[in-house]
Structures are given as structure tokens and as C-alpha cells.
Structure 1
Amino acid sequence: MALYADLDALRASAADVRIVTSDGQTIAAHSYVLASASPVLERMIDRARCRGWGAAAVLGVPSDAVLAFLHLLYSSDAAVVLARSRRLVAPGTEELVAAHGPQLLALAHVYRVGWLKRAAEAAVSARLTADRAVDMLKLARLCDAPQLYTRCARLAAKDFAAVEASDGWRFARRHDPALELELLQLLEDADSRRARWARARASQEAYRQLGQAMGSLDRIFAATGGGTDDDAPSQSSAGPAGTCAGDGDDDATCQGLRLLMRHFATCARKVAPGGCARCKRMLQLFRLHASVCDRPEQDQPCRVPLCSHFTAKMQTEKADKTWRLLVKKVTRARAMAGMADRQVPEVVAMSWARYSTSSKWARN
């Protein structure tokens, strides 16, 4: 590798400091290179010189990792690469970082080499496996590596069976209960987060369907033209005469509303004690439509039954907080659906066509 050749060439010059590893190996180096790369090494070298020593100890990792660490510090074009591109390490050093990722992450954290720490963290995260998730989680916690920490937590939540069968998990259960508790808490948080997201998606889908129902009511009674907004839906106005203009979900929603209104028009239990659950649901839909209807603000008559009745009632009676929140969310869902279905301007479509070979504008 060219990087090793560069280091060997520098070693031929006058080396003024020696790096001692855990196994007693000594590596000749240059103080100005190490001091410019790491403020911690700079202080260590200055302290060693004050005491008359010519060596600095880099302990805790194998000598191969220390040698790789020094090779990366000697990379003369690393700073240029970082300044001019988005790459984390210099070209040709990715394999070196990948081979000693955890050790380089620990060394870069201890000796405050920021660019190398980011590169090692990315390399370890990209090659993370379930059998090493617990060990790397502890390393990420010790080295303040949030990207690696999050990656370990997600992998443990995704494949906990494989993580539980690893040696790291068995060691943590026997000797590190704090780490075991932390990992279990992460799994519980992940489960809670997934459940919360599922509830949020279900709520958004319900608001979207209610927004579709409001639009379907407008289309049904605009098509029938029957009845006034103060009349209850009759057989003629709410029956099958109303047409549903739409496909897919809109058409299914419209057909369901027509069946519900047909039941409402003929049901005799809606005035009986206790009432009818389906009729109550229809009345709630009429009330919701009156809450989101914007035609009275535009001085336009609304053909949906009971719209003006519920509008006048809302002006005299204040709705509860839950109902106001429902109206707000349904209104927002309708607005978002309208933005998604709006026609794209021709100028915007032509600009998009530059990046899409399948566009009709690109074919012209």
C-alpha cells in the first residue's frame, strides 16, 4: 500500500520519538506529525520530553492496530480529502480502517482524532453483525459513538434471537448486569416506538377515510340535487340515485355511505329509545361534515342534509375539546389529500423530466 511506503520513507528521516505498544514493540515516529494530528499525543510527547524520555506509550490495543493508527495519522492527503470531498478517509485506506475498526475507534476517541473516529464508527456500523452487537454497543457507549450505538440497538431489536445466542450477551448476563438492563430497556423502547408508530398510522388512515367520506357526501348530494340542507335524507335523496365519481378507495367509501344513508332513510329505530347505532353513526358524519364544510363561508348553499342545522347549533353550543381536535385533524387530512391530488404545472413537469427518462416530456 502506498500509505505504508510513505510511512517507511518518513522513517528514513530523523525520528525523534518512539511509540511503545502493549506487547513491547517499539515504532519510530516523528513528533511533529503526531502532534499535528492529535492534541493528546502532543501533550504526551511534551510531558515525555520534560522528563527526559523519548517514548510515548499507546496501550490497550494490539500492535497491528497501533501501526494502522500511525499509518492513518501519517496520511498526508487525509486533510485534503476531508476538505474537498465527503469521504471520511483518504483513498486506499478504507481496507485499513475496516480491518481494525473497533481498535481505531477506541484510539481515535482517546487521542481525539475526529476524522478518524467518524471513519472508524462508520466502518464498524457498516459491518456490524448480530454476534458482535453487544460488544459494539458497549464500545459505542464508552467511545461516545451515537451512530454505532443506534445501529446496535436497531440490530438487537430486529434480530434479538441471534443477539441472545452471542457470546457477548452471555458475558453481559453473567458479569455486566447494567449492560444487560440497558439493552433490555432499548428493546422495550423499540417495541413501544413501533406500537406508537402503528397507532399513529392507524389514526392517520382513519382521518384520511373520514376526509374521503366528507368529499363523498358532497359528491353524492351534488349529483342528486335532492332536498335542502335542512331536510333529513329521504329515500329519494339518499338512495341509489346518487352517483359516485371516483375509483378505488373513493368509490368504496361512496358506496358505503350510500348504503348507510339508505338504512338511515328507512330505519324506524332512529327515533326509538336507545336509537340505532348505524343511524347515530350517520348523524355523526353529518355533524362532522357541517364542522368542516366551507360553503357557508363562501355564501354557497350546501345540499348535504342537516348541514345548516348543525352549523347553527355549533354557533350556539360550544363543542368539546375532543370534537374540535377531530375536526382539526380531518380538515388537515383533507388538505393534504388535496395537495397530493393537485395537477402538477407544466413547467414543473418539464423540469422533472430532465431527471426521468420515462417522462413524456423527455421523449419529445
Structure 2
Amino acid sequence: METDSITIDDLYGISPVKSDLRRELPESDVRILTSGGLKIPVHSSVLASISPVFESIIDRPRKHQGSEKVIPILGVPRIAVVSFVRFLYSSRCAEEHLEKYGIHLLALSHVYLVPHLKQICSKHLAQRLTTDNVVDVLQFARLCDAPDLYLKCMKLVSNHFKAVESTEGWKFLQDHDPWLELEILQFIDEAETRRKRTRRHREAQSLYLQLSEAMECLEHICTEGCTSVGPYDVEPERKKGPCSKYATCYAIQLSIKHFATCQKRVNGGCLRCKRMWQLLRLHSSICEQSDSCRVPLCRQFKLRMLQEKRRDDSRWKLLVKKVVSAKTISSLSLSKRRREEEEE
């Protein structure tokens, strides 16, 4: 088979105008042999300084000392090898080569331990993932130990599994790599578990925030008064109009009115009264000013617990803790929002 060759000028684009640069380069002492017989002249000092794998290859003793040092890089397109060598010299890679040979360059950067090129290839491939190519890229990311690219592939497969499942890549994977298929299915299952956990957490946080807001409205009604309900010593004509949290405040007012007049409350037969009772107890568990607090039964709840020496159950303690935490987070968020508005 006839062997092609490539010169330093061809490889690095050195024209006669740039002849000074040509004179500065020493003679190449190594050649890289690609598929198709192309020989690329390179410098052992450059290769050894960038890649420990090349350094190890170059340092190996040769059978014939006078023979030319040749490093074969086979199994990938020769243009990909040319682009790889150009990167070793210039730390740059043509966009069209990344587009066409990104997978091959990723493999070369992994085999010869060139982390900067590996990062560039991983980023480029991650930006061009589709449901059609994601399985192929995922396999290479796994083989080439590219965790960022691997994770992006897994997320795309998880989010668009129905579309990926119908591709040829997935069918090939099922027939030839059952372990990777199992990894993908486990990732999808864990991702769904995380989504459910996050959804439950958000729902719980929303509930704690609602209870925290209810506590604020309860204190506001019993201290300042709001529309139709207020402290016993506030004259009706002096009661304030709707507050900023009137939707919650109005519901609390209706509950207070019902609680004050309900006949079933005595024997615990009313669900609305029971909920109001729990709100008052929750307020008492949170309140730090029971002596001066104007919320009904606040001090009585605290005294009753002291007299009976009763400990709240762990679930109630957790509820109190979560409501206090939600109130603190809400206050911090409000303060931050106000500061941002003032800065604007």
C-alpha cells in the first residue's frame, strides 16, 4: 500500500510569508502514522511535554537505534488525528473538526491524557446532544470517563425516555450492553424518586409557610384588629381596614367568630373548633412573650403544660420547629427583597 506523508508546513499552515517561523522550528524527530498510511512529522519534546502517555512511548528503547521513531494512531479518521496533533501544538481545535470528529477527539484525549482537549470535547458534545445521538455519546462518555458529559446524557435520557426508547441506539444498547441499560433505568428511577421527594418537600414548606402566615395574622387580629374582629379594648369604629394578608386574615377571623359561638366546642364535636384550638396551641408553642401576648389562651396553654409536666410528642415538636424555620426564611426573603427594591 502506498504511504502518504504530510509536511510541517502543510500540518501547521506555514506559508512562504511565514518562513521565519519555519526556520525557528527544529527538525521533527518522530512521525505519527494514521489510518490510510498518512505520516505526520512531530517533535518528541512537544508530545512528551503535553502527554505522559506520549512521553512513555517516546522513552521506550527502540530495537534499531538508527531507525525512525513512528507512533501509530489507528482506528480513527486521519483528519481527526491531524486535528489532535494540531491541538497539541496550538491548544486550539477547529470548530468544523469538533463538529465532525468530536467523539474521536474525545477518545484520543482520553487515551493520551490531554485533559484540556477532553474538557473542550465534552462541552461541545453536551451542547449538541439529541435524542437520536444521546445513547452513542453516553457510551463514549462512560468509556472515556467524562462525568459531566455522562451526567448530561443521563438527564436527557431520563427526561425524554419515550423518544430515546424508539431510537436505533437504544435498541443496539439493549442487545449489546445490558449493564449500561440497567444503569440508565436505575438513574431514571432515582431521578423520579428525587422529583417526588422534592415535590413533597415543597408541599410541606408551603404548608409551614401558610401556618406561619396564619400565626402572624392571629397576632395581628388580637393585637391591632382587622375589619370585623379585633381586641376587646378596641372600639369598632377604630378597627383597621383590610391588611396586606387579608385572604388569610379573613379566614382566621371567621374561625375566631365560629369558635366563640359554637355549641359543639364543649364536647369536641366540631372540626373547625378543633383546628382553631390547634392554631392557638401552635401559637402558644411559638410565642416568646406569653405574659404580654394578647392572643387568647396563650398563657393558659403554657401554664397547663407546666402544671401537667407534659411533654409534646415528637411530631408536634417537629411541626413547631418547621413553622418557626419557615417564618425565619420568609422574614429573610422579605428583607432581601426590600433591600433589592431600595437599591433599584
Q: What band does the TM-score fall into relative to the shorter chain? A: 0.7 to 0.9
Q: Distance in 2 between matches of 1:212 and 1:50?
A: 83
Name 1:251's counterpart in structure 2: 246
Q: Residue 125 in 1 paired to residue 126 in 2?
A: yes
Q: Residue 322 in 1 paired to residue 335 in 2?
A: no
Pairing partner for 1:37 from 50, 54, 57: 50
RMSD: 3.0
1:6/1:127 Cα in 2 relative to 1: closer, same or farther (>3 Å)? Answer: farther
User: TM-score scaled to structure 1, two decimals?
Assistant: 0.79
1:139/1:97 Cα in 2 relative to 1: closer, same or farther (>3 Å)? Answer: same
Q: Residue 115 in 1 paired to residue 116 in 2?
A: yes
Q: Distance in 2 between matches of 1:181 and 1:344?
A: 46
Q: Distance in 1 between matches of 2:279 and 2:63?
A: 84
How far the C-alpha of 1:144 sits from its partner, in A, is 1.4
Could you report, residue by residue, the CA deviation over 1:320-343 in whole angstroms, capped at 9, with x for unpaired residues? 111111111111111121122238
- Partner SS, residue 288 of structure 2: coil
Could you report, residue by residue, the CA deviation over 1:75-131 in whole angstroms, capped at 9, with x for unpaired residues? 0xx3xxxxxxxxxxx4x7444334322111111111111111111111111111111
Contact 1:244 1:255 in 2 (8 A): no
* Paired letter, 2:296: P
* Paired letter, 2:243: G
- Partner SS, residue 130 of structure 1: coil
Contact 1:221 1:242 in 2 (8 A): no
Q: Distance in 2 between matches of 1:44 and 1:115?
A: 21
1:220/1:331 Cα in 2 relative to 1: closer, same or farther (>3 Å)? Answer: same
Name 1:102's counterpart in structure 2: 103
- Partner SS, residue 303 of structure 1: coil
Q: Residue 279 in 1 paired to residue 273 in 2?
A: yes
1:287/1:266 Cα in 2 relative to 1: closer, same or farther (>3 Å)? Answer: same
Q: Residue 55 in 1 paired to residue 52 in 2?
A: no
Could you report, residue by residue, the CA deviation over 1:30-84 in whole angstroms, capped at 9, with x for unpaired residues? 1111111101011112226466461112233221211111010010xx3xxxxxx
Q: Which 10-residue stretch deviates more, 336-345 or 61-70?
A: 336-345
User: TM-score scaled to structure 2, two decimals?
Assistant: 0.84
Q: How high is the sequence identity, in percent, across the aligned residues?
A: 43
* Paired letter, 1:69: F
Q: Distance in 2 between matches of 1:256 and 1:59?
A: 76
Q: Distance in 2 between matches of 1:144 and 1:70?
A: 21
Contact 2:80 2:97 in 1 (8 A): no
Contact 1:48 1:56 in 2 (8 A): no
Pairing partner for 1:313 from 304, 313, 326: 304
Larger radius of gyration: 2
Contact 2:221 2:231 in 1 (8 A): no
Name 1:232's counterpart in structure 2: none
Name 1:267's counterpart in structure 2: 262
Contact 1:219 1:244 in 2 (8 A): no
Matched length: 321
- Structure 1: gaps (5+ residues): 79-89, 229-235, 353-358, 360-364
Q: Distance in 1 between matches of 2:207 and 2:156?
A: 32
Contact 1:217 1:254 in 2 (8 A): yes
1:10/1:330 Cα in 2 relative to 1: closer, same or farther (>3 Å)? Answer: farther
Q: Distance in 1 between matches of 2:27 and 2:47?
A: 14
Q: Distance in 2 between matches of 1:260 and 1:102?
A: 66
1:156-195 aligned at under 5 Å gives the runs 156-195=157-196
Could you report, residue by residue, the CA deviation over 1:309-356 in whole angstroms, capped at 9, with x for unpaired residues? 12223433211111111111111111121122238788x877x4xxxx
